[in-house]
Amino acid sequence: MIDGKTRLLGLLGQPVEHSLSPAMHNAALIDMGLNWSYLPLHCSSGDLENVLNALRGLNFIGLNVTIPHKQSVAKMCAELTPLAQKIGAVNTLLPNDQEGWIGTNTDVEGFVSPLKKNSQNWEGLNAVIIGCGGSAKAVVAGLEELRFAKISIVSRNPDSLKRFLNDVQLNTSKTERGEPITKIAGFFQEDRSLSNQLKKADLIVNATPVGMTTKSNEISKQNDIPLGPNIWDEVSPQTTLYDLIYTPNPSPWLAWGAKRGFHCINGLEMLVQQGASSLRLWSGTRDVPVNKMREAAQSSLNN
Ligand code: NAP
């Protein structure tokens, strides 16, 4: 029940209509007994700065940021955490002591969470990331945190790949001797050596929308698997396949992998864990009802 004392949180994006975050966060807020409410806030790029200032003026206690604003908002924050600075993208805002916002990024924590299950040790292993957009930057930061030895980034677009590599190589963590802890290389999608990189990978992450459906378009957007169906036959089923997509569940790629005995991870847990991490920051408590958030996200997906 909203009353005069209700405090507000929200998700800024375009579109936000089909986001699972309001259902997930409001379920958690009720469970925590907080008189707070989490709203979807549709905002165009042209209005972004005014909206951010207005929401700060309205005393919002926190915001999430989604497509397509994560990078633009990073440039509008009064302060950035070192992680948000490194990635150049913000998905969570907290008010600072003056009139601005502190930007941080919980996508990295969300992404690594299922990889840390069962205390699996990824140190020294090889990963491939398909796609070099906004979320791929959080994926690189997560894989660096897990101390992968090598990350190969695959892109269909040589220009975006070059820009992406420049950014991530500049910000990569270094040893005391100035060497990168994780080596990062780029591959064009048509590159002949790509199939070798896939064969050597311990983990392959799809950070493209290939295979995704949306509620506004029930037919698969690209009823396909990343890099096409033929390249996967020689990849060992010992490899873990991680698709950031959570709709459909499973994605065509993970459905293919599961049939052949690959260990598969979909993007729902990343979504839930990044949300839980944002809520910990806003509420100042570690104890947030992650199971309730997962149930609410899952049931909102099913409806
Ligand atoms: P983005 O910034 O638009 O980047 C998408 C990347 O995929 C770009 O590198 C793009 O290449 C590439 N791409 C797009 N269509 C392609 C195709 N048909 N073939 C090959 N490459 C293609 O998007 P994003 O924010 O990184 O999101 C990527 C995916 O991750 C989306 O499906 C999103 O829903 C999902 N995601 C999930 C979570 C979660 O919590 N589970 C969080 C964030 C994102 P170009 O540069 O050539 O366009």
Q: Report pLDDT digits (tens) over 135-154.
A: 999 999 999 999 999 999 99
Supply the pLDDT for residue 47.
Answer: 97
Q: What residues does 188 pair with on adjacent strands? A: 155
Band the pLDDT of 83: cuts 50, 70, 90: very high
Report whether residue 208 contacts ligand 1, using a CB cutoff of 6 Å.
yes
Give the chain's mean pLDDT.
93
Q: Is the CB of 275 under 6 A from ligand 1?
A: no
Q: Is ligand 1 within 6 A of the CB of residue 210?
A: yes
| Under 8 Å between Cβ of 74 and 88 | yes
DSSP H helices in the chain: 21-31, 48-57, 70-76, 82-87, 107-116, 134-145, 158-171, 194-200, 252-259, 268-283, 290-302
CA distance 185 to 152: 5
Which atom of ligand 1 is least distant from the CA of 189?
20
pLDDT for 260 beyond 70: yes
Average pLDDT (233-237) is 94
pLDDT(221) > 60: no
Q: What is the CA(264)–ligand 1 centre distance, in A?
A: 19
Q: pLDDT category, 302, cuts 50, 70, 90?
A: confident
Q: Is the beta carbon of 247 within 6 A of some atom in ligand 1? A: no
From residue 87, give the alpha-carbon distance in Å to each of 133, 144, 176.
Answer: 11, 12, 21
Residue 217 clears pLDDT 70, i.e. is over it: no
Residue that has been written with the tokens 């042209």 in this structure: 46
Nearest CA to ligand 1 atom 3: 133
Distance 177 CA to ligand 1 centre (A): 34
> What mean pLDDT do residues 17-24 have?
95
pLDDT band (50, 70, 90) for residue 14: very high
CB of 211 sitting under 6 A from ligand 1 = no
Confidence of residue 214 (pLDDT cuts 50, 70, 90): low
* Percent of residues, the chain, with pLDDT higher than 70: 97
CA of 111 to the centre of ligand 1 (A): 14
For residue 209 and ligand 1, the question of a CB distance below 6 A is answered with yes
* 266 Cα nearest atom in ligand 1: 41
Specify the pTM: 0.94
Q: Is the dihedral of CA 269, 294, 249, 215 positive or negative?
A: negative
- Split at pLDDT 50, 70, 90, the class of 119 is confident
Report the 10 Å Cβ neighbour count for 199: 14
Range scoring the smallest mean pLDDT among 13-17, 41-45, 99-103, 223-227 = 223-227
The catalytic residues are: 70
Give the 3-state secondary structure of residue 18: coil
- Three-class SS of residue 247? coil
